Structure 1
Amino acid sequence: MSSESASRGSTPRTEGSTARHEEGSVTVAELRVPASEIALEEAFRRAPSMTFRAEKVAGRQSDRPFAHGWIGGDAEATAAALEADPSVTLESVLVRRDDEQLCELGFSDPVALVADAVYNSGGTILSAEAADGNWQLCLRFSDRSSLSDLMGLFDRFGIDANLTQVANGDGASRQRLTEKQREALAAAHERGYFEVPRQASLEEVATDLGISHQAMSERLRRGQNALLHSEIVD
């Protein structure tokens, strides 16, 4: 991220930015942004199998975007990793499950910068997830020009954001498998994960690839979604 973005903290807030949404074609985009550009870079370095999924992100602007999120992975390892990461503060654990925890988090300025850029471009954040050292943002815009506005802001602030999917309201889509998704699908197929009955469990395939159960599940889900869009929608 450029020094300009760090000095600005966040883009100026524009009241009623979401009012730009009108009836007609809607653009839904997925962007992949390295954790080094937003947050959690150090946490992922210390706990590579950690995952993050923001809770209830759609809607209005907030002074604390992504303040509540599900953290997946070993609880002790992820807590230590978050504590060592200067981009985030683990304020409290609200809900505990076997493989994930709902946490209250405080993120550093780059998170607000990214969120404000989306809203000030007329966008809505539908979901925000992070795994394998990258953030994946699903965004909705009233038209393609609003998405272009956002990408222009990212360029201006030096934020390295890559479009991985763009879909129109009419269903037209440009979604492609990532290399990691392709690898996960191929490994699952070779091990017989998709057979009935299954010849291998998700955990076994994940172990073969040297990744966590959560990461494997996410790659398969996104990979299958990409294939469905490619074969059925396109």
Structure 2
Amino acid sequence: MAVIVELTIDSESFGLGRVTAVSNGVHLELERVVRDDRLVDDLAAVARIEDRVLYKVNWGESTSSLTRVLTDSEATILEARGNDPWLFRLRFNDHAALTEFHNRCQDETIEFHVERIYTLAEGEPGVYNFDITDEQQEALVTAVSEGYFEVPRRTTLNEVADRLGISPQAASERVRRGADTVLRKVLLSQSAADLS
């Protein structure tokens, strides 16, 4: 099943990012990407509309490692925008192709941060149904945003309970039950079955 991944990559981690890295306040979007085995040779403005500029990119002699990784893992770039960092929305044929992408990025020392992973069957991001209660969701959101799951922890369960106005025991139950339900749904779902 097709998998969509949203991830961020620092500009210094890939050729086009290094070439287009500019000062703050400038936002770049890739409108169309045609792969060739060359890096950027020339970048020319072809149209200006208000505060937007359309550029034509002429490629140089060598391919960037990110381009090779995307091609080898048969990823489709659905969206690429930013400056530093860049946000990519990529579609992979299945979880195996996503795993290939991850492994190739490690081999090429391309670091990225995954923002979101979902399948086409799950629909667009932002609409999740994890079958948890409102209280469990509130407890989980508070715990995550306050750094309860980080290493080292930035907050304690007692502090999460104080923020929610409940007892530490109630906070513990909500966080544990909510986390268990979410993790089971994500890690043990059919869409994750092809990871094994």
CA distance in 2, matches of 1:28, 1:147: 9
Q: Give the whole-Å Cα distance in 2 for the aligned partners of 1:93 and 1:159.
A: 29
2:128 pairs with 1:152 = no
Q: Deviations over 1:168-187 (max 9, x none)?
A: 12217887xxxxxx9xxxxx
Identify the residue that residue 49 of structure 2 maps to in structure 1.
Answer: 97
Taking a change above 3 Å as real, the CA distance of residues 30 and 94 of structure 1, as seen in their structure-2 partners, is same
Displacement after TM superposition at 1:137 (Å): 1.1
* Residue 29 of structure 2 is aligned to residue 29 of structure 1: no
The separation in 2 between residues aligned to 1:27 and 1:106, in whole angstroms, is 31
User: Which whole-Å CA distance do the structure 1 matches of 2:72 and 2:53 have between them?
Assistant: 31
Identify which range, 98-107 or 144-153, moves more after superposition: 98-107
Alpha carbons 2:10, 2:17 under 8 Å: kept? no
Matched residue, 2:154? none
- The reply to whether residue 139 of structure 1 matches residue 115 of structure 2 is no
Distance in 2 between the 1:40 and 1:102 partners? 16
Query: Who is 2:36 aligned against?
Result: 63
2:75 alignment counterpart: 123
Deviation string, structure 1 residues 19-63 (Cα, Å, up to 9, x no partner): xxxxxx21011111000112445864x511111101123xxx610
Per-residue deviation, residues 87-126 of structure 1 (Å, max 9, x unmatched): 8555321111111110112467887321221121122111
Alpha-carbon separation, structure 2, partners of 1:145 and 1:43:
31
Secondary structure of the equivalent of 2:116? strand
CA contact (8 A) 1:53 1:128 kept: yes
Distance 2:44 2:3 in 1: 36
CA spacing shift, 1:174–1:99, aligned 2, 3 Å? closer
In structure 2, how many angstroms separate the alpha carbons of the residues matched to 1:155 and 1:109? 24
Please give the TM-score of this superposition, normalised by the length of structure 1: 0.46
Q: Any unmatched runs of 5+ in structure 1?
A: 1-24, 66-86, 176-181, 183-233
Asked whether the equivalents of residues 92 and 104 of structure 1 are also in contact (C-alpha less than 8 Å), the reply is yes
Q: Identical aligned pairs, as a percentage?
A: 17
Taking the TM superposition and a 5 Å limit, the aligned residue runs for 1:147-226 are: 147-171=98-122
* Aligned residue pair count: 128
| CA distance in structure 2 between the partners assigned to 1:36 and 1:135 by the alignment | 10
Distance 1:129 1:27 in 2: 19
Q: Which amino acid aligns with 1:30?
A: E
TM-score, normalised via structure 2 length: 0.55
Name the amino acid aligned to 2:85.
Answer: N
Secondary structure at 2:121 match in 1: coil
How far apart are the structure 1 equivalents of 2:62 and 2:105? 11
